[in-house]
């Protein structure tokens, strides 16, 4: 198994402000917001399915959700063909304040 | 003990745990008795499948919560259909079916036990006869029919009986013989089946089922005026005059509070709920304590108490420990010799003496004798350390023997701070695994410091602290005025120096090291946790892997 993590781009379109707010809050716990209603998260398959489950509980039939898995090459290409800083990367797994 | 047994006799089993029993006895034991339960992706995918199926067939979808004390089972039947006057239980599986020799779809053994158990449960509760159960495998879209006959009913009754006996026992069952089952098991990082196989068979080359790295960030808050707050699913760190920093909680592994930064109660709740350890370090760099909600199951601790109240076991483990640390210390000194042109007879003398001492460890007949050897080893090691510092190092940063409480020179201040940080990380690892930090095998219980953490620390002192300190001094990374505060006979790190050290230490922890026995590479961060798990294996019948992390 050896749980590897991958980047995911998560986009949504939600018709109701209440549900939108709930989804937004939930996603904030998993990753960073890149643009309005587009998040990027680095997740294990386990976390991905957990997130999906949590979101599906909130979402209704009329809402849409798109989860795009990105391989490491995809991420490199995202960095290559966009403005600098679109996909900020941190190398360390610690932060000092 | 009596209470648990009595409870186990009256309480019914969940059908899903019966399925776990049929899959792997050890999995059943870890879940039911040790109360470890990690959800892997298929758990959530399965839940979603059920929710979707419910939406599709809203009319005839019903869930039944059933319990039969007589049978000793309880469970929730996925779906129930009436066909030709008979009730048929359905079970939906997200995966694929088992294929027999003729490539015909069949039910997996554990799934078969599960559907038979549902059938028996329905028969007992509703008083009807169930002719068959059906399992739908969604991956290959086939439905497998499992006939319910007397042999099947007997199988369920036998399985329940065996599972109950196992639940009442204190013995953790061995690793299952079918390695393929472990590949998809959600508890593999806890159970460490491959490492267990290695313990029984040194020729076994283990697959790495232990996750390579914990990517969650360790958050150090060194600013005294900072406030750590909760906002929804985020931690927010507010420092005066600076914009708030947002941290998604899923990406936080530990919160380390240096000095007196504040943390709000909602933030503590969030951390406790998400299994994020909160650790406190004093302004002098001493480890104060942790808020940690990750209580291990009592069974693990009982086993720990049983093992560590045995003096022979303690002595054996302590010997491994002293050997591990002493060997690493000696190797470090040898490294210093290797890189120099001129001969260092003094250093050579020290390492030969250390070698002689190390060979006496296995003859030590008591912990006191062992402590004597360790003391001598440490004295020799510290007398050899000054030789590892380059000629460029100024006199103030040189090392003249270990002193502490308070450290009297910058070198000792760095060592002390480093050991404080290491103690914090070892504590975090022990709490994650669920062992009792206050009950060790080598150090004696004293105030403040938890003995098991002090024990385990010995393994990592050289690679994680000593080498970092020596390396950074040789690289001239320390500036006396900026990095240290000197108060007559007390030296400690300034705010700037502390941040610098944390950076060096954390960077070191992110480096990978190939484990000499299991032969796979892990970061030091993971090795800390792996070592605690390997220690637990020492008293669970899979000994032989602990204390092997010796510097090369």
> Mean pLDDT, to the nearest integer, of B93-119?
81
Q: Given a cut of 80, is residue B259 above it in pLDDT?
A: yes
Residues B8-37: what's their mean pLDDT? 75
Position B265 confidence tier, pLDDT thresholds 50, 70, 90: very high
Q: Give how far Cα B14 sits from Cα of B76, B127, B163, Å.
A: 9, 20, 11
Q: Which two tokens stand for residue B198?
A: 């290695």
B392 to B389, B396, B399, B474: CA distances (angstroms): 8, 12, 14, 8
Does the pLDDT of residue B78 top 50, yes or no?
A: yes
Please report the pLDDT score of residue B4 as a whole number.
Answer: 42
Q: In sequence order, which ranges of B238-310 are alpha helices (DSSP H)?
A: 265-273, 298-308
Name chain A contacts of B253, Cβ cutoff 8 Å: 93
Is B222 touching A (CB cutoff 8 A)? Answer: yes
For residues B27-38, give the mean pLDDT. 74
A76-85, B7-16, B193-202, B213-222, range with the lowest pLDDT: B7-16
DSSP state of B405: S
B499/A contact by beta carbon, under 8 A: yes
A88 in contact with B at a CB cutoff of 8 Å?
no
d(CA B550, CA B517): 10
Using CB atoms within 10 Å of the CB of residue B157, give its burial: 0 to 12 exposed, 13 to 18 middle, 19+ buried.
Answer: middle
| Torsion sign (Cα): B159, B162, B165, B170 | negative
pLDDT: which is higher, B34 or B379: B379
Alpha-carbon distance of B236 to B245, in angstroms, equals 5
Looking at the predicted structure, is the pLDDT value of residue A69 above 70? yes
From A83's Cα to the closest Cα of chain B, the distance in A is 23
pLDDT at B519 over 50: yes
Helix ranges (DSSP H) in A1-97: 17-28, 45-58, 72-80
pLDDT in tens, B405-462: 788 888 888 888 898 889 888 988 888 888 888 888 887 776 667 888 888 888 888 8
Which residue of chain A is at minimal alpha-carbon distance from B244? Answer: A97
Q: Give the chain B residue whose CA is nearest to the CA of A60.
A: B55
Report the relative pairing of strands B287-291 and B98-99 from DSSP bridges.
unpaired
Q: Is A4's Cβ below 8 Å from some Cβ in B? A: yes
Instruction: Give me the residues paired with residue A67 across strands.
Output: A10
A36 vs B: CB within 8 A? no
Q: What residue in B sits closest to A32 (Cα-Cα)? A: B248
Summarised one tens digit per residue, pLDDT across range B165-180 is 777 777 777 777 777 7
* Residues ≥6 apart with Cβ < 8 Å to A32: A39, A40, A41, B248
Q: Pick the range with the lowest mean pLDDT from A6-10, B150-154, B290-294, B445-449.
A: B445-449
| Predicted confidence (pLDDT) at residue B57 exceeds the cutoff of 60 | no
CB proximity under 8 Å: B 508-537 to A: 510, 525
To the nearest whole Å, the CA of A31 is away from the closest chain B CA by 6
Q: How many CB atoms lie within 10 A of CB A46?
A: 18
Does the pLDDT of residue B10 top 60, yes or no? no
Q: Is the pLDDT of residue B41 over 70?
A: no
Tokens 């495998």 locate to: B137
pTM of the model: 0.74
Q: Is some CB atom of chain B closer than 8 A to the CB atom of A28? A: yes
Q: Indicate the average pLDDT of chain B.
A: 79
* H-run or E-run covering B338: helix B311-338
Is B250's CB within 8 Å of A30's CB? yes
The CA–CA distances, whole Å, from B222 to B258, B280, B286, B525 equal 5, 11, 13, 21
Residues 6+ apart with CB under 8 A from B376: B357
Give the per-residue pLDDT at B356.
84
CA–CA gap between residue B377 and residue B330 (Å, rounded): 9
Alpha helices in B40-97 (DSSP H): 41-56
Q: Does B134 have pLDDT greater than 60?
A: yes
b/e B380-418 (16+ beta carbons within 10 angstroms → b): bbbbbbbebbeeebeeebebeebeeeebbbbbbbbbbbb
Query: Which pLDDT belongs to residue B424?
Result: 87
φ/ψ bin of A37: left (φ > 0), alpha (ψ from -120 to 50), beta (otherwise)? left
**B142 - beta bridge partners?**
B137
Query: How far A34 CA lies from chain B's nearest CA (Å)?
Result: 14
CA-nearest residue of chain A to B216? Answer: A93
- Locate B269 and state its tokens: 């709740």
CB B120 within 8 A of CB B15: no
* Most confidently predicted of B88-102, B197-211, B252-266: B252-266
CB of B273 within 8 Å of a chain A CB? The answer is: no
Which residues in chain A have their CB less than 8 angstroms from residue B233's CB?
A: 25-26, 28-30
Grade residue A1 by pLDDT with cuts at 50, 70 and 90.
very low
Residue A2 has pLDDT above 60, yes or no: no
Cβ-nearest to A94 among B51, B217, B239: B217
Angle between helices B524-538 and B410-433 (to 10 degrees): 60
Give the pLDDT band of residue B20 (cuts 50, 70, 90): confident
Any CB–CB contact under 8 A between A94 and chain B? yes
Give the integer Cα–Cα distance in Å for B292 and B271: 9
A-chain residues near B255 (CB < 8 A): none
Name B549's Cβ contacts closer than 8 Å, sequence gap at least 6: B324, B328, B459, B460, B463, B513, B515, B516, B527, B531
For residues B114 and B108, what is the distance between their CA atoms, to the nearest angstrom? 10
Q: Which of A31, A49, A96 sits opposite B503 (nearest CB)?
A: A96
Residue B6 has pLDDT above 70, yes or no: no
Other CB atoms within 10 A of residue B451 CB: 19
Q: Look up tokens 């299952």; give the residue.
A: B176
Instruction: Provide the number of CB pairs (under 8 Å) joining chain A to chain B.
Output: 112
Residue B332: closest CA among B66, B489, B550: B550
Give contacts of B 115-144 with A, CB under 8 A: none
Q: What is the DSSP letter of B251?
A: G
Which of B113-117, B266-270, B499-503 is predicted least confidently?
B113-117
């Amino acid at each position: 198994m050896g749980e590897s993590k991958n980047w995911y781009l998560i986009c949504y379109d939600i018709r109701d402000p209440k549900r939108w707010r709930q989804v937004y809050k939930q996603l904030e716990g998993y990753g960073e917001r890149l643009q309005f209603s587009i998040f990027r998260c680095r997740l294990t398959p386990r976390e991905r399915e957990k997130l999906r489950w949590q979101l599906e509980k909130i979402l209704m039939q009329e809402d849409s959700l798109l989860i795009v898995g990105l391989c490491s090459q995809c991420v490199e290409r995202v960095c290559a063909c966009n403005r600098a800083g679109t996909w900020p990367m941190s190398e360390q797994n610690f932060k000092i304040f | 003990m009596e209470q648990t047994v009595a409870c186990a006799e009256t309480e019914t089993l969940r059908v899903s745990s019966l399925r776990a029993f049929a899959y792997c006895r050890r999995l059943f034991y870890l879940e039911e008795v040790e109360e470890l339960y990690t959800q892997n992706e298929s758990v959530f995918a399965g839940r979603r499948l059920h929710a979707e199926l419910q939406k599709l067939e809203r009319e005839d979808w019903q869930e039944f919560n059933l319990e039969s004390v007589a049978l000793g089972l309880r469970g929730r039947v996925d779906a129930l259909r009436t066909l030709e006057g008979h009730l048929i239980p359905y079970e939906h599986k997200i995966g694929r079916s088992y294929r027999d020799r003729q490539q015909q779809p069949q039910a997996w053994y554990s799934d078969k036990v599960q559907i038979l158990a549902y059938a028996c449960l329905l028969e007992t509760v509703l008083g009807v006869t169930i002719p068959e159960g059906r399992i739908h495998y969604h991956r290959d879209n086939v439905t497998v029919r499992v006939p319910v006959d007397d042999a099947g009913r007997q199988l369920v009754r036998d399985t329940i009986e065996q599972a109950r006996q196992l639940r009442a026992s204190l013995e953790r069952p061995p690793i299952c013989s079918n390695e393929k089952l472990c590949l998809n098991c959600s508890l593999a990082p806890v159970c460490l089946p491959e490492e267990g196989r290695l313990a029984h068979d040194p020729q076994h080359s283990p697959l790495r089922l232990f996750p390579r790295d914990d990517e969650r960030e360790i958050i150090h808050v060194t600013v005294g005026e900072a406030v750590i707050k909760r906002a929804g699913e985020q931690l927010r760190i507010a420092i005066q005059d600076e914009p708030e920093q947002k941290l998604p909680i899923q990406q936080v592994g530990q919160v380390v509070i240096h000095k007196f930064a504040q943390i709000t109660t909602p933030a503590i709740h969030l951390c406790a709920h998400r299994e994020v350890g909160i650790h406190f370090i004093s302004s002098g760099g001493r480890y104060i304590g942790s808020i940690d909600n990750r209580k291990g199951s009592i069974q693990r601790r009982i086993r720990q108490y049983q093992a560590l109240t045995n003096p022979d076991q303690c002595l054996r483990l302590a010997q491994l420990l002293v050997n591990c640390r002493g060997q690493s210390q000696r190797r470090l000194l040898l490294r210093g010799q290797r890189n120099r042109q001129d001969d260092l007879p003094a250093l050579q003398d020290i390492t030969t003496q250390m070698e002689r001492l190390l060979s006496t460890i296995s003859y030590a007949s008591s912990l006191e004798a062992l402590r004597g050897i360790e003391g001598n080893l440490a004295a020799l090691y510290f007398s050899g350390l000054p030789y590892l510092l380059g000629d460029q190092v100024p006199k103030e940063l040189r090392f003249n023997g270990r002193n502490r409480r308070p450290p009297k020179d910058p070198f000792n201040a760095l060592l002390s701070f480093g050991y404080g940080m290491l103690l914090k990380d070892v504590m975090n690892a022990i709490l994650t695994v669920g062992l009792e930090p206050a009950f060790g095998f080598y150090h004696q219980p004293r105030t403040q410091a938890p003995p098991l953490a002090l024990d385990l620390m010995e393994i990592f002192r050289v690679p994680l602290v000593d080498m970092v300190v020596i390396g950074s001094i040789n690289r001239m990374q320390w500036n006396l005025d900026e990095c240290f505060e000197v108060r007559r006979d007390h030296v400690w790190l300034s705010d700037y120096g502390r941040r610098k050290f944390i950076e060096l230490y954390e960077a070191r922890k992110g480096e990978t090291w190939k484990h000499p026995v299991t032969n796979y590479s892990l970061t030091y961060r993971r090795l800390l946790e792996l070592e605690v798990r390997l220690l637990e294996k020492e008293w669970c019948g899979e000994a032989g892997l602990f204390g092997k992390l010796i510097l090369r």
